[in-house]
Amino acid sequence: MGIAEEAFERLRRIVVEGEFLERMAALGVRTQLSPGLIKTLVRLSQSGGISMGEMARNIGVDPSYITALVDDLAERDLARREPDPVDRRVKIVVLTDEGRRLAEEIQAVLSVPPASFGVLTRSEMRQLRDLMDKVIAADPALSGPPSPSGRKLVDSG
C-alpha cells in the first residue's frame, strides 16, 4: 500500500467509521429528516435554486424520486417549487426561509470535527486544512464553494 492509499484509507475511516456517523444518525432523529432529505436540503442551500432535473443529476438519484423528496420538503415548508420563467416545463426548487435556516444548522453540525481532532495542534490543523484545500481544488466535482455562489454540478454525466 503506497502512501497515498494509506493517507486516504485513514481519511475514509475517520469519516465513515468514526463518531461522525452517529452524529449523522442523531441529526436525522432530531430533524426527522431522512438522509436523502438532508442531502437535498444541503445541496439546495449550496446552489440556491435549481431545477428538479439538475437536482436529480446533482445528488445522483432518479428524477421521480426528486419529486417525492421535494414533495416532502414542501409539506414541511422547507422548500417550494417556482415556475421557470423561460421554460414552462421546468420547475425551480428554492428553499424557504425556514429551509435555509435548517440547512445552515445542519451544515454547522456536519462541520463539527470529532472530538479526536482535539489532539492536533493549531498548526497541524492549518496544515491539514491546506492539504485538503489543495485536493478539493483539484477535484472538479468539489471545487465549487459551498457558499450560494451559483452552479456547481456533476452535470457531465
Partner DNA sequence: TATTGTTATACTCTATAACTATA
Partner DNA sequence: TATAGTTATAGAGTATAACAATA
Contact region for DNA (CB under 7 A) — 12-20, 79-87, 110-118, 139-147?
79-87
Nearer to a copy of itself, 12 or 71 (CB): 12
- Whether residue 70 contacts residue 81, with contact meaning beta carbons closer than 8 Å, is answered with yes
How many of the other CB atoms lie within 10 Å of CB of 157? 6
82, 137, 149, 155: residue in contact with a copy of itself (rule CB under 8 A): 137
- Verify binding: residue 153, a copy of itself, rule CB under 8 A: no
Interface pick for a copy of itself out of 53, 84, 110, 150 (rule CB under 8 A): 110
Question: Does the footprint of a copy of itself cover residue 48 (CB under 8 A)?
Answer: no
Shortest spacing between CB 52 and DNA, in angstroms: 3
Pick 62 or 130: Cβ nearer DNA: 62
For residue 77, count CB atoms less than 10 angstroms from its CB and return exposed for 0-12, middle for 13-18, buried for 19 or more.
Answer: exposed
Element (H, E) at 150: none
Best CA proximity match to 89, nearest among 62, 63, 58, 61: 63
* Residue of 114, 102, 111, 113 whose CA lies nearest to 41: 102
- Cell representation of residue 3: 502512501
The yes or no reply on residue 135 touching a copy of itself (CB under 8 A) is yes
Q: Which residues bind to DNA, rule: CB under 7 A?
A: 34-36, 51-54, 56, 60-68, 70-71, 81, 84, 87-91
